[in-house]
């Protein structure tokens, strides 16, 4: 069983790779996680994952005072209403601070369950078991939990680190092609902002990745988790370098917000956002167009969009960007590429440059 540690001192935790944990319901390698789980478990999952794996989840946790809350599917349900519903179930069930919330699902499940755990009785334990690629390489690691507001994505939340993250790469076999591709956007993001060698490896293994070969998935997911774990350990609450992990997200979140969190998947929006951020980087003279186009080609090879649908109003788009969490009293900050594998945060992007990028992609 491969393990990567997120080094946060007293809040450090492992990312365990346990093949078959969810897809087969096997407890192989699970004994050493007993301390992280405890005897009282409240599982949060969604309709799709419950339909696929409810028997396996019961086999894993059935002897631990198990109750399950099943969320509806989709980003549109990443809301405070779902958090309150989970809290209500915890209260009605008499769950105490000794309880562990176990999130089994994608990023929406992990965020909603994690936020509920963060606020229930001022904070109870949570374990993340991500079943989508996007969740395995991004949202399950780092302790960010949040729900959306109609005016902005992830505007209500808390930092609440899990006791552990358990990754079963074989769950990726059941993902739709679209959901799988959405996770690959975060993979490309890690390479583009932090590791040029990783991007070269991705370019050289496109076929194996698209075919979901287990050996390639294991290397890729572990590589991304190591990048994220190292950045989170350095900057847990996103006061500095961790903001680089939002490369493409300011543009992407605007797309999601203006689309009502329904038409565009998060990874699809991030893919488009990365190309737009790379375009802005070109206009700032940091990278040349070949770098932007190289990123776009890799995203396209993974089946991702690289430009938004037409019809977005540029004024509304810029306004949505301004509600980004990285904005300060001095204005918007953006993540741009100084070079491939080296992202930086800047407030000195020039409104004219941003306007030109928006015009190029929105009209």
Residues annotated as catalytic are 122, 144, 186, 228, 238, 242, 246, 249, 253, 266
Phi, psi angles (nearest 5°) of residue 190:
-60, -45
Count CB neighbours of 276 within 10 A: 27
Q: Classify residue 151 by its DSSP letter.
A: T
Among the residues of 103-205, which ranges form H helices?
107-119, 133-134, 177-194, 196-204
- CA–CA distance, 112 with 159 (Å, rounded to integer): 12
Strands 152-159 and 144-149: antiparallel
Name the nearest CA neighbour of 180 among 218, 212, 215, 228. 212
Dig out the tokens for 78 from the structure: 């990443």
Angle at 359 between CA 354 and CA 363, to 5 degrees: 155
- CA–CA distance, 23 with 35 (Å, rounded to integer): 23
- CA–CA distance, 263 with 178 (Å, rounded to integer): 12
Distances from the Cα of 304 to the Cα of 240, 264, 266, 273, angstroms: 29, 11, 11, 11
Q: What crossing angle do the helices spanning 214-234 and 196-204 adopt, rounded to 10°?
A: 170
Distances from the Cα of 201 to the Cα of 132, 191, 298, 300, 339, angstroms: 21, 9, 11, 16, 17
Name the nearest CA neighbour of 113 among 154, 83, 138. 83
Dig out the tokens for 335 from the structure: 């993540």
Buried b (16+ CB within 10 A) or exposed e, 260-270: ebeebbbbbbb
Contact 103, 125 (CB under 8 A): no
């Amino acid at each position: 069983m491969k393990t990567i540690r997120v080094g946060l001192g007293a809040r450090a935790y492992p990312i365990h790779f346990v093949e078959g944990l969810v897809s087969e319901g096997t407890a192989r390698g699970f004994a050493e996680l007993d301390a992280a789980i405890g005897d009282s478990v409240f599982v949060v999952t969604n309709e799709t994952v419950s339909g696929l794996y409810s028997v396996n989840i019961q086999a894993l946790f059935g002897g631990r005072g198990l109750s399950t809350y099943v969320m509806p599917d989709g980003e549109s349900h990443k809301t405070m209403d779902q958090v309150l519903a989970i809290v209500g179930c915890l209260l009605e069930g008499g769950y105490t601070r000794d309880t562990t919330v176990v999130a089994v699902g994608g990023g929406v499940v992990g965020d909603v369950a994690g936020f509920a755990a963060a606020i229930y009785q001022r904070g109870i334990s949570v374990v993340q078991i991500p079943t989508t690629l996007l969740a395995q390489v991004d949202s399950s690691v780092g302790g960010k939990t949040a729900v959306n507001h109609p005016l902005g994505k992830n505007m209500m939340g808390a930092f609440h680190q899990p006791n552990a993250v358990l990754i079963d790469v074989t769950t990726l076999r059941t993902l739709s092609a679209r959901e799988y591709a959405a996770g690959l956007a975060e993979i490309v993001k890690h390479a583009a902002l932090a590791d040029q060698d990783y991007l070269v490896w991705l370019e050289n293994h496109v076929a194996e990745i698209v075919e979901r070969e287990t050996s390639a998935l294991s290397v890729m997911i572990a590589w991304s988790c190591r990048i994220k774990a190292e950045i989170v350990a350095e900057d847990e609450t996103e006061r500095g370098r961790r903001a680089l992990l939002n490369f493409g997200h300011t543009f992407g979140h605007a797309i999601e917000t203006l689309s009502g969190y329904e038409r565009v998947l998060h990874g699809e929006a991030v893919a488009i956002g990365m190309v737009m951020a790379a375009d802005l980087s070109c206009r700032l003279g940091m990278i040349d167009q070949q770098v932007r186009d190289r990123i776009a080609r890799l995203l396209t090879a993974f089946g991702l969009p690289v430009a938004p649908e037409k019809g977005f109003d540029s004024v509304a788009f810029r306004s949505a960007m301004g509600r980004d969490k990285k904005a300060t009293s001095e204005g918007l900050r953006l993540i741009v590429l100084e070079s491939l594998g080296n992202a930086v945060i800047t407030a000195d992007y020039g409104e004219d440059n941003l306007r030109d990028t928006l015009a190029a992609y929105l009209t």
